[in-house]
């Protein structure tokens, strides 16, 4: 099969398009013929060896993908047949540890991640654990299906489980053009929130409005914090969905209403900040960390997508032979939604 293979971490020069033996499914695994694989920023950090992402190389990256069942290993039950259209949710829990038994499988202490601890979807074929395989909603293309797992489930978990969003609340979504951002705008709106979003270009601001943001703020040309306070009559927002981290911390902190919750799922803009604990307790703020989501979250997201209430946004597609160009585009951040690689 053809694959994009990372031979060592450090730079995109180590990402090679070439041939690998076809994998065959082990016990409990499903062989997927990949039709589309989306990129996440964490994949870029994996290539570059940044933000603490460690990989054993050679490795085929690609956590989120969609395709057709091409084979089934032993003990995979009868739920799937060859030819079924599926998508892969990459976080695979053990099902036995204490967090798993309590239904918090995203906190599994023995979790594996497809495309990180085993080969992923930047290839024509991939073997994945049965537990990571879900039916592709019939109203989605493979490219859209590949754009669902990490971003939508992460955004859902942040808004619903961590921040416990209530209808009518104000939500500020940072970097609307990102995968998590474009998902969070739609989910928050669907759940009855008023959504504010930030982005770095007028084109992205227009797309953020199209997805449901009532106010879109250009963080390049104005102080988003002052604008948010202005738009909320000085009150601030109830929830901030942030994956940028330290570089936005002061402005985010100033944008929170009393009782506000900031949920963070990424640190592309730095990971250390200074916290004014006096304000933390007197304003009764919550700072919450979040990563990925549970199987229940995956099911919730897929149900809303099947009903057409939320929909992934594909920015651009690249052939597998040009996977490197997809990573370069990711690094330049000049796109809205998800970048997809098609074998
Ligand atoms: Zn577990």
Q: Tell me: the pLDDT tens digits for 286-300?
A: 999 999 999 999 999
Model confidence at 201, pLDDT cuts 50, 70, 90, reads very high
Ligand 1 centre and the CA of 192: distance in Å?
Answer: 33
Ligand 1 centre and the CA of 202: distance in Å?
Answer: 44
What are the helix (H) ranges across 93-164? Answer: 98-101, 142-146, 149-156
The pLDDT of residue 199: 95
Determine the Cα–Cα distance for residues 64 and 6; give it in Å rounded to an integer: 17
CB atoms closer than 10 angstroms to residue 230:
11
User: What is the layout of strands, in order, in the sheet containing 2-6?
Assistant: 15-19, 2-6, 59-60
The pLDDT of residue 108: 97
Mean pLDDT, range 247-276, rounded to an integer:
96
Ligand 1 centre and the CA of 221: distance in Å?
Answer: 45
Ligand 1 centre and the CA of 298: distance in Å?
Answer: 17
Determine the Cα–Cα distance for residues 155 and 109; give it in Å rounded to an integer: 22
Ligand 1 centre and the CA of 120: distance in Å?
Answer: 21
Ligand 1 centre and the CA of 103: distance in Å?
Answer: 9
Ligand 1 centre and the CA of 169: distance in Å?
Answer: 34
Ligand 1 centre and the CA of 292: distance in Å?
Answer: 14
Ligand 1 centre and the CA of 91: distance in Å?
Answer: 11
The pLDDT of residue 184: 98
The pLDDT of residue 252: 97
Determine the Cα–Cα distance for residues 149 and 209; give it in Å rounded to an integer: 23
Mean pLDDT, range 46-63, rounded to an integer:
95
The pLDDT of residue 188: 98
N residues, the chain: 343
The pLDDT of residue 92: 95
Contact 302, 278 (CB under 8 A): no
The pLDDT of residue 36: 98
Q: What is the pLDDT of residues 208-239, one digit of tens each?
A: 999 999 999 999 999 999 999 999 999 999 99
Angle between helices 179-190 and 202-211 (to 10 degrees): 30
Ligand 1 centre and the CA of 113: distance in Å?
Answer: 12
CA 273 from centroid of its chain's CA atoms? 23
Ligand 1 centre and the CA of 294: distance in Å?
Answer: 11
CB atoms closer than 10 angstroms to residue 139:
12
The pLDDT of residue 67: 98
Determine the Cα–Cα distance for residues 144 and 61; give it in Å rounded to an integer: 19
Ligand 1 centre and the CA of 107: distance in Å?
Answer: 7
Q: Pull the structure tokens for residue 162.
A: 């961590």
Cα angle, residue 275 at apex, residues 254 and 43 outer, rounded to 5°: 90
């Amino acid at each position: 099969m053809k694959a994009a293979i990372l031979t060592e971490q450090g730079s995109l020069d180590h990402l090679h398009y070439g041939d690998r033996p076809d994998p065959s499914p082990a016990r409990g695994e499903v062989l997927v013929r990949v039709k589309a694989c989306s990129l996440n920023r964490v994949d870029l950090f994996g290539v570059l060896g940044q933000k603490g992402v460690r990989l054993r190389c050679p490795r085929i990256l690609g956590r989120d993908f969609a395709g057709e069942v091409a084979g089934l290993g032993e003990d995979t039950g009868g739920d799937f047949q060859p030819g079924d259209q599926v998508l892969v949710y990459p976080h695979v829990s053990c099902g036995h540890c204490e967090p798993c038994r309590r239904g918090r499988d995203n906190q599994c202490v023995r979790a594996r991640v497809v495309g990180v601890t085993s080969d992923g979807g930047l290839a024509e074929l991939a073997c994945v654990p049965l537990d990571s395989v879900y039916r592709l909603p019939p109203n989605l293309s493979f490219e859209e299906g590949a754009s669902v797992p990490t971003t939508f489930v992460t955004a859902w978990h942040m808004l619903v489980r961590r921040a416990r969003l209530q209808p009518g609340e104000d939500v500020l979504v940072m970097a609307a053009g990102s995968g998590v951002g474009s998902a969070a705008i739609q989910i928050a709106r669907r759940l009855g929130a008023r959504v504010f979003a930030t982005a770095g270009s007028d084109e992205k601001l227009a797309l953020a409005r199209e997805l449901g943001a009532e106010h879109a703020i250009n963080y390049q040309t104005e102080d988003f914090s002052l604008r948010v306070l202005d738009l909320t009559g000085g009150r601030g927002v109830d929830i901030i969905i942030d994956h940028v981290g330290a570089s936005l911390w002061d402005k985010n902190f100033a944008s929170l209403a009393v009782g506000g919750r900031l949920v963070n799922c990424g640190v592309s803009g730095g990971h250390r900040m200074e916290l004014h604990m006096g304000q933390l307790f007197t304003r009764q703020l919550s700072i919450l960390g979040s990563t990925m989501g549970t199987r229940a979250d995956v099911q919730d997201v897929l149900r809303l997508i099947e009903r057409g209430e939320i929909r992934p946004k594909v920015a651009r597609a690249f052939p597998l032979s040009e996977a490197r160009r997809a990573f370069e585009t990711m690094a330049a951040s000049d796109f809205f939604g998800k970048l997809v690689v098609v074998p």
